[in-house]
């Protein structure tokens, strides 16, 4: 699964804007976020859709973020991980 390219990231503009508003994250490249100097969140794409990888409690977890319901669930999980 390859990292999300410009077209996929463009589709995630609304989500990326919401992530930028979360405290404690630094965006090092479009859609690539770090927390406390460590990689925390980035995106991938393949024929099945767009996915977000998030490091939660030191373990990478993958979430689908293609559909609105998936995005809502993903954001809730990221907010929880940051608290």
Q: Where are the domains of the chain?
A: 2-82
pTM of structure: 0.92
Question: DSSP readout, 29-73?
Answer: ETTEEEETTEEEEEEEEETTEEEEEEEETTEEEEEE-SSHHHHHH
Q: What confidence tens digit (pLDDT) does each residue in 32-71 have?
A: 999 999 999 999 999 999 999 999 999 999 999 999 999 9
pLDDT higher than threshold 90 for residue 83: no
The alpha carbons of the chain give a radius of gyration, in whole angstroms, of 12
Per-residue model confidence (pLDDT) at position 53:
97
Q: What confidence tens digit (pLDDT) does each residue in 8-33 have?
A: 999 999 999 999 999 999 999 999 99
What is the mean pLDDT of the segment spanning 2-7?
Answer: 92
| Long-range contacts from 31-37, C-beta under 8 angstroms, 24+ separation | 31/4, 35/82
Per-residue model confidence (pLDDT) at position 1:
77
Give bridge partners of residue 50 from the DSSP assignment: 45
């Amino acid at each position: 699964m390859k990292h999300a390219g410009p077209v996929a990231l463009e589709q995630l503009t609304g989500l990326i804007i919401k992530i930028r508003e979360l405290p404690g994250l630094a965006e090092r490249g479009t859609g690539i976020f770090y927390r406390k100097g460590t990689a925390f969140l980035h995106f991938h794409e393949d024929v099945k859709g767009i996915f977000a990888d998030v490091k939660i409690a030191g373990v990478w977890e993958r979430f689908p973020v293609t559909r609105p319901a998936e995005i809502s669930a993903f954001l809730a999980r990221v907010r929880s991980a940051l608290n």
